[in-house]
Amino acid sequence: MKKIRIGIVGMGFIAGWHYNGFAVQEDAEIVGMCQDFHGTSEQISEKKKQLEKSCADFGIKPYNDFDEMVNDPNIDALIIGSINPYHYDQIIAGLNAGKHLLVEKPVVTDLNQIDPIIKLAKEKDKIVFPAHNFAYRGAVKKAKEVLESGVLGKIIHSSFVISHTLIPAHQTGWRAKKELGTGGTLIDSGHHIIYQCLYLLGMPVAIHGFTSKLVLTNMDCEDTAQVNMQYADGSLCFLMQSWASGNADGVNGFRILGEKGNLVITDALYVNGEKISDDVEYGNSFVNQARAFLDSVKTGIEPISTLEDVRNTLKIVFSTYESAEKNIVIRF
């Protein structure tokens, strides 16, 4: 069996999760890692040492830079885990080099970049797979089946709420700067709840957003965001993402209320109080996602969360920012 050989771009904390997700796949092999070096000479030197150590720990090859990796004919696919501003150029280069791509969220931070990616991927007959790992949790996929079965009846109201803290390195790193992150908690961690909401419920027709900077005041953008949404059938939905508090036990989770029942995703999926699936673990979402990516590369199966979902996620994010700034309702 020929294994799909994969390179990881970027050595942030997410690289280890991707490595572990693919390590258990018999038809794939992580073969190398690269990092875009920037900063002072001392910072660059330290990052090069970190890359050597990470690659030694994983037992893979350290590449000098992205160009060396993307042009390696022995690599079939790339995991793009670099910081946000590098994604688009690396996606285009990867497609032109004939690589399949698994791209960390946000795939891009400019809506105008999505159509060129779709067009080029089609021309090159390559997969661009959004790394929307939470959508590959078994509990979320089962929740989709429950909703499609109609057992809950007409959906009345939904809430998607997640609050957690950031490690100090993330509080002061590139995420703290608007020019690099494009926004705060909503475009970053909030991406996860938005694409899951889109997968389960579809695109809303109107939103009203609010943002606040309550605790992480050193960061350029919001540490808390709230989005009120309405769907075409009149049902309502509430999203809240925060980096301001880790004291969210009993608050965090997804809750969908129907006229005939309810669905909750917290430590498991519950339908009308009965546990249906306990596949919610973070690490396993990367295992499931890796399997889905490989299947997509081999068979052309469309991802659960597509580039159109990337587009709609960004529409919700940017419309929330506009709504919060102008205090207006935005209709799609």
pLDDT score recorded for residue 78? 98
Q: Which of 252, 250, 257 is nearest to 201 (CA)?
A: 257
Question: pLDDT band for position 141 (50/70/90)?
Answer: very high
- Please report, for the chain, the start and end positions of each structural domain, with discontinuous segments joined by +: 4-131, 135-280+312-331
Lowest mean pLDDT among 1-10, 45-54, 220-229, 271-280: 45-54
pLDDT digits (tens, 9 = 90+) for 282-312: 999 999 999 999 999 999 999 999 999 999 9
Lowest mean pLDDT among 36-45, 101-110, 146-155: 36-45
In this structure, are residues 70 and 82 in contact, taking their beta carbons and an 8 Å threshold?
no
What percentage of the chain reaches a pLDDT higher than 90?
93
72-96 average pLDDT score: 97
pLDDT digits (tens, 9 = 90+) for 76-87: 999 999 999 999
Residue 204 pLDDT more than 90?
Answer: yes
pLDDT score recorded for residue 286? 98
Tell me which of 37 and 156 has the higher pLDDT. Answer: 156
Question: pLDDT band for position 1 (50/70/90)?
Answer: low
| Dist CA 309 CA 194 (whole Å) | 9
134-144 average pLDDT score: 98
Residue 156 pLDDT more than 90?
Answer: yes
Whether the model pTM is above 0.85 = yes
Encoding tokens for residue 219? 């960061």
pLDDT score recorded for residue 61? 96
pLDDT score recorded for residue 2? 86
pLDDT digits (tens, 9 = 90+) for 6-54: 999 998 889 999 999 999 999 999 999 998 877 777 877 888 888 999 9
4-131 CATH: 3.40.50.720
In the chain, the amino acid numbered 220 is D
Instruction: State which H helix or E strand residue 103 sits in.
Output: strand 100-104
Rounded to the nearest integer, the mean pLDDT of the chain is 96
Residue at token pair 């159109």: 308
Encoding tokens for residue 306? 């597509």
In this structure, are residues 280 and 254 in contact, taking their beta carbons and an 8 Å threshold?
no
164 backbone dihedrals φ, ψ, rounded to 5°? -155, 170
The superfamily (CATH) of domain 135-280+312-331 is Dihydrodipicolinate Reductase; domain 2 (3.30.360.10)
pLDDT score recorded for residue 122? 97
pLDDT score recorded for residue 182? 96
∠ CA 119-123-124, nearest 5°, is 120
135-280+312-331 matches 4-131 in CATH topology: no
pLDDT score recorded for residue 43? 79
| Dist CA 221 CA 263 (whole Å) | 33
